[in-house]
Every structure is written in structure tokens, then in C-alpha cells.
Amino acid sequence: MPSDAARRSIIIDTDPGQDDAVAILLALGSPELDVLGITAVAGNVPLHLTEKNARKICELAGRPDIAVYAGADRPMERDLVTAEHVHGKTGLDGPDLPEPAMKLQDRHAVDFIAETIMSRPAGEVTLCALGPLTNIALALRKEPAIAGRIRELVMMGGGCFEGGNVTPTAEFNIYVDPQAAQLVLRSGIPTTIMPLDCTHKALTSAERTAAIRALGTPVAQATAQLLDFFERFDEEKYGTDGGPLHDPTVIAWLLKPELFSGRTVNVEVETGSELTMGMTVVDWWRVTEREPNALFVRDIDADGFFKLLTERLAVL
Ligand code: BDR
Ligand code: CA
């Protein structure tokens, strides 16, 4: 176990979601990471389900001590769009997980994010964003000084060469709250983006899921059931064997950045046109004078990623 000083302090902002759930499990199985709290946002399903799902996953991992906070129940300006067609009615369809006994924290997620970053030493807290960026944008609006104190924001969202997954040009997390995404990307926070260009290469397969199931623990069993449910939609959509495991790439980046490669470029978000709403406009070829604002990851060593995931799930 690394010493406390060597561990990286993270806040996970999330809308579970099967792939969010696996990302949370990966974080809780990794001794290098100190999870300061989990903040839920409306996204894949409404807030009352995402916060409950976050608590279910903490309990599955044997970590009812993790503080879970509820945040924004809707995007900053637009109506909430959800994705039950992908994640099922509960957002966490697949395993039959018990209703959580652990309590939801009283404090609002936005207050928790802002106050934690302000009260900890500058450069200490890493934000992991696995859903729409509403909570993080609201925290920036409430306390703009957090931008200069965050060590890194690692977010799953957007796409460039891969196009979109909810409209032809937009990825779900950005599409749900484009105004929030634009505010965050213009904030100056050191940012790493795991877009569809990367996550569409992190595909589950019968073999990869079997390796997880073979761990034989209740966590492994539930994870395999989550993956089985989650991949069925994308298998049909993309004609692949398996589906992209988006959100755990965010956590894997913190653990093994050598599994990934990308470019530091300018990324802006379309917030005006309904046709391309929520599109990430990525200056991959650096054809503008716009300042680079994010490391945009394009490639992943998928075998290394699934090996890491399986190893870390084994300790839970
Ligand atoms: C993203 O959208 C959600 O459905 C997933 O949880 C992931 O965060 C992929 O576009
Ligand atoms: Ca998510």
C-alpha cells in the first residue's frame, strides 16, 4: 500500500451507468488512489437513480465508508436527455444488487467539490468526470478559484475522427450539457480527455469478460453481469463482439498513463447549432491559432487496459 502522501486524491463525478460502475470499482481496487468522495449527476438516468447506483457500487465493493453526494438534477440550460435504451431502466441493469443501506450525504455535490478543492493544498485534487459536466461547471461558477487549484481533470467525453454516439456529431456526456462542457474546457484546468476515439478501442469481448468472471468473487460476478448487459446495445449498433468500456479509461489513465497516447490540442464545444449541438471541435491538425486546452487521447493498449482492470477487480 503506498503511503498516504504518495496516493493520488480524487473525486469521481459520475452518472452510473454500468461503465461508470466499473470505473468506480477500478478506483476502489487501486491502492494508489484515495477516493475523497463520489458526486452524482443526472445523465444516463435521472439523479435519484445515479446517486443510488453510486451507493450500490460502493457497497458492492465493501466500501460503505465512501461519501456519496447528489448534485445537479438537470443540465445548466437544456432539458435532461437520458440513456435508458443503453443502460436499462435503473441505469444499472444486469446484476441484482440490493438497495443500499449507506446514507446519501446531506451536502450538495457542487459544494463538496468546491469546498474540498479550496480546503486542500493547491494541486492536490484530481477530478474524474464520467458523466455530463454539470456539477463541475457549477462548482467553477460558484468558486472560480478552484480552476487554478485542481491537479488535473480527466474526463470521458467527445469525439473527433470517430464522430458521435448520440447524434452523428456528438458524444452523450457532452451532448447532455454542452454549456457545462464548454465552460469547463475554457476554465484553464489541466485537462485530459478520453473521447470515443480512444474508448471505441477498449472493447469488451467474450474472453475479456470471462477472465473477469473467472475471478470468482461477488464483485467479479456482478461486473461480468454489468458488462454482459452493457455490451448488448453496442454490439448490435456497431456490429462488434463486445462494447466500448468508456468510463474506466479515465481511472486507468491515472494508474498507467503509458497505456494511452494522444495530442495536446484545442477543443471547443458546439453550443449554438441544433444540428451539431454538443460536438467537440478538435483542432487535431493545429490549423487554428486557438490555444491548446486539453490532452486529447486517441489510442489505448486495450489488452493492457483489460489486464489492469481484471487485476484490480481481483482485490475487491
Ligand atoms: C458515455 O455516456 C454514457 O452512456 C457512458 O456512461 C459514458 O460516460 C459514453 O458516451
Ligand atoms: Ca458515464
Q: Which residues line ligand 1 (CB under 6 A)?
A: 17, 19-20, 44, 83, 86, 130-131, 156, 165, 171-173, 246-247
Catalytic option among 87, 108, 200, 246 = 246
Query: Whole-prediction pTM value?
Result: 0.97
User: Measured from the CA of 165, which atom of ligand 1 is nearest?
Assistant: 10
Cβ partners under 8 Å of residue 107, min gap 6:
69
Q: Tens of pLDDT along 43-67?
A: 999 999 999 999 999 999 999 999 9
Which ligand sits nearest to residue 202's alpha carbon? 1
Neighbours of ion ligand 2 (CB under 5 A): 15, 17, 20, 130-131, 247
Instruction: Please report the domains of the chain, with CATH numbers, ordered by start residue.
Output: 8-313 (3.90.245.10)
Packed helices 302-313 and 18-28: angle between N→C axes, nearest 10 degrees: 70
3-state DSSP assignment of residue 259: helix
Q: What is the pLDDT of residues 209-219, one digit of tens each?
A: 999 999 999 99
Name the closest ligand to CA 177.
Answer: 1
Give residue-wise pLDDT tens across range 157-215: 999 999 999 999 999 999 999 999 999 999 999 999 999 999 999 999 999 999 999 99
Ligand 1 closest atom vs CA 44: 4
CA distance 166 to 159: 11
Please check the confidence at residue 19 and state whether its pLDDT lies above 80.
Answer: yes
Ligand 1 atom showing the smallest separation from residue 244 Cα: 9
Strand bridging mode 33-40 / 8-14: parallel
Give, using CA atoms, the residue closest to atom 10 of ligand 1.
172
Instruction: Judge whether 221 and 213 are in contact, CB under 8 Å.
Output: yes
pLDDT, tens digit, 9 for 90 and up, residues 118-128 = 999 999 999 99
Could you say which ligand is closest to the alpha carbon of residue 86? 1
pLDDT tens by residue, 101-111: 999 999 999 99
Ligand 2 center from residue 20 Cα (angstroms): 5
User: Is 108 labeled as catalytic in the residue annotation?
Assistant: no
Residue found by looking up cell 462548482 in the block: 139
